[in-house]
Structure 1
């Protein structure tokens, strides 16, 4: 997982002309008796230095040596999500990059906390992912946070010389009471599809596409689970990344990233997932959160 993350860090840093990468390892809360620490006063310091040394070795083996970038290695003790959030806030990070070990159940809990509370965007990378941006899938319900995600996709495409393909997916469903209208299921499905196409045109007109073609894609949800439709479509079109916007756009809604994003973080273990949040959106409540 570490090798994959270092390679992604290299890939992102090159395209963004990043200034610095902070590699961090969090030691879970240590419960070492005082008398043991008194007998072995260098125990914690030695542990920290050992972990820094291990990180440096992994980075040395996997970070592109031609990448001209500053690096730092930080080891801290405490609760994983809180320490990462605090570090990101202290360093004014633009992006938090974390891995998702697909072989471990429930590994989405930490990433959900980070997605809700981070003051910047979060990229979640499943193990064995390959860093490339040829196809970008942007699930959209035509909301403001979907607009944030689409604008991020366009910006990424700009950084990759305009060679990335952007697909905007809208998952629509047929309401359960459709039969009261006198229409058949297929007839009402066509009505919902027509409205989705109209709403897409209104949505895309609000966005500066910078000359890039956006491909609209409409998926009918048959099992009341749009997340599965998104993941299946991402795999079908061989998307390299899924981009969604965090729902919380103000301090009052900062802890809510939206049920779709929550489920994607929890369920998706195949495709890298970028949860976008304009930098600093959660900054006003970060200190409060870290004290919880």
Structure 2
């Protein structure tokens, strides 16, 4: 029986919350969720002292009021009855609180909004993507009402790609209509001219090698051979190529590993993924992590 997962959804009491809540049904189906923690974290939940003393009966404790407001919104969604719900409002540093809850509740996914125009800086999601010990799903403020059916999946044939493949195969099995478009960005190594070959000739060699690796990956993991775009990097960054491809294919979601072949020694997040998190305000994106891969960092943080 397939394992069901838990998710922590961060809400900040802005318009972005509505986008997240409206797409919760789709997220439950995609990630096979069995429990969701809806959480709002504020650095200070207290009323100013002069207001509180002047109007002692103004309202219930702020955290309780926020929890009630969120719970009412969640109830209006009519989520599946088998999905357990817990709502909480916490006071403290947002990143530290989210990471602490991720560890304590053994969370599989953190789900957050990715803003561009709506109120809020959008800095928190980027830092959570870097430091979270679990996978992170970003929902964008202008995402369409489409179902999650068309996935762009960047791959580089590293061990981190294998983790992504496991998730993607589950998406395919749970959604027979899912369309998977793999994407590999290859480049000509520095010093190619020492081989006596032109740039174009060596680019062709690298392309054929990438195609060979892709076929070997399909054979090794016995996965369906969905189409793969092979793109020469050139002067454009890999992250920009991925965004261009996602828009060109009208993807509903980008699914990418937290690290790649060239980032195997990265402490927190691979450079391509980090840049993609930074520039992608348009398309929902799932950053797949091997659960607990940043746990040593979390342990150190929680013991401060």
Structure 1 length-normalised TM: 0.85
Describe the shift of the 1:254–1:188 C-alpha distance in structure 2 as closer, same or farther (beyond 3 A): closer
Deviation at 1:164, TM superposition (A): 1.0
Match of 2:258 in 1: 246
The answer to whether residue 231 in structure 2 is matched with residue 219 in structure 1 is: yes
Deviation at 1:128, TM superposition (A): 2.5
Deviation at 1:88, TM superposition (A): 2.0
Deviation at 1:225, TM superposition (A): 0.6
Match of 2:177 in 1: 163
Match of 2:149 in 1: 134
Match of 1:74 in 2: 88
State the alpha-carbon separation in 1 of the partners of residues 119 and 275 from structure 2: 14
The answer to whether residue 247 in structure 2 is matched with residue 235 in structure 1 is: yes
Deviation at 1:204, TM superposition (A): 2.7
Provide, for residues 117-151 of structure 1, a one-character-per-residue CA deviation record: whole Å limited to 9, x for no partner.
22221101111323622221111111101111122
Structure 2 length-normalised TM: 0.82
The answer to whether residue 227 in structure 2 is matched with residue 193 in structure 1 is: no
CA contact (8 A) 2:218 2:225 kept: no
State the alpha-carbon separation in 2 of the partners of residues 30 and 106 from structure 1: 18
Describe the shift of the 1:103–1:172 C-alpha distance in structure 2 as closer, same or farther (beyond 3 A): same
State the alpha-carbon separation in 1 of the partners of residues 120 and 53 from structure 2: 38
CA contact (8 A) 1:14 1:67 kept: no
The structure 1 segments of at least 4 consecutive aligned residues displaced by more than 3 Å after TM superposition are 14-17, 29-45, 64-68, 104-109, 175-182, 252-255, 280-285
CA contact (8 A) 2:30 2:148 kept: no
- Name the SS of the counterpart of 2:61 in structure 1: helix
Stretch deviating more after TM superposition (35-44 or 148-157): 35-44
Deviation at 1:116, TM superposition (A): 2.7
- Name the SS of the counterpart of 1:206 in structure 2: helix
- Cα-Cα RMSD: 2.9
CA contact (8 A) 1:3 1:58 kept: no
Describe the shift of the 1:196–1:16 C-alpha distance in structure 2 as closer, same or farther (beyond 3 A): closer
The answer to whether residue 197 in structure 2 is matched with residue 183 in structure 1 is: yes
Stretch deviating more after TM superposition (7-16 or 19-28): 7-16
Match of 1:98 in 2: 112
CA contact (8 A) 1:52 1:73 kept: yes
Residue from 243, 256, 266 that aligns with 2:268: 256
Residue segments in structure 2 that go unaligned for 5+ positions in a row: 1-15
Deviation at 1:100, TM superposition (A): 0.6
The answer to whether residue 179 in structure 2 is matched with residue 148 in structure 1 is: no
Describe the shift of the 1:255–1:288 C-alpha distance in structure 2 as closer, same or farther (beyond 3 A): same
Describe the shift of the 1:261–1:174 C-alpha distance in structure 2 as closer, same or farther (beyond 3 A): same
Residue from 63, 67, 87 that aligns with 1:48: 63
State the alpha-carbon separation in 2 of the partners of residues 254 and 220 from structure 1: 24
CA contact (8 A) 2:115 2:122 kept: no
Residue from 83, 87, 109 that aligns with 2:123: 109
State the alpha-carbon separation in 2 of the partners of residues 46 and 200 from structure 1: 57
Stretch deviating more after TM superposition (45-54 or 177-186): 177-186
Deviation at 1:234, TM superposition (A): 0.5
State the alpha-carbon separation in 1 of the partners of residues 63 and 166 from structure 2: 40
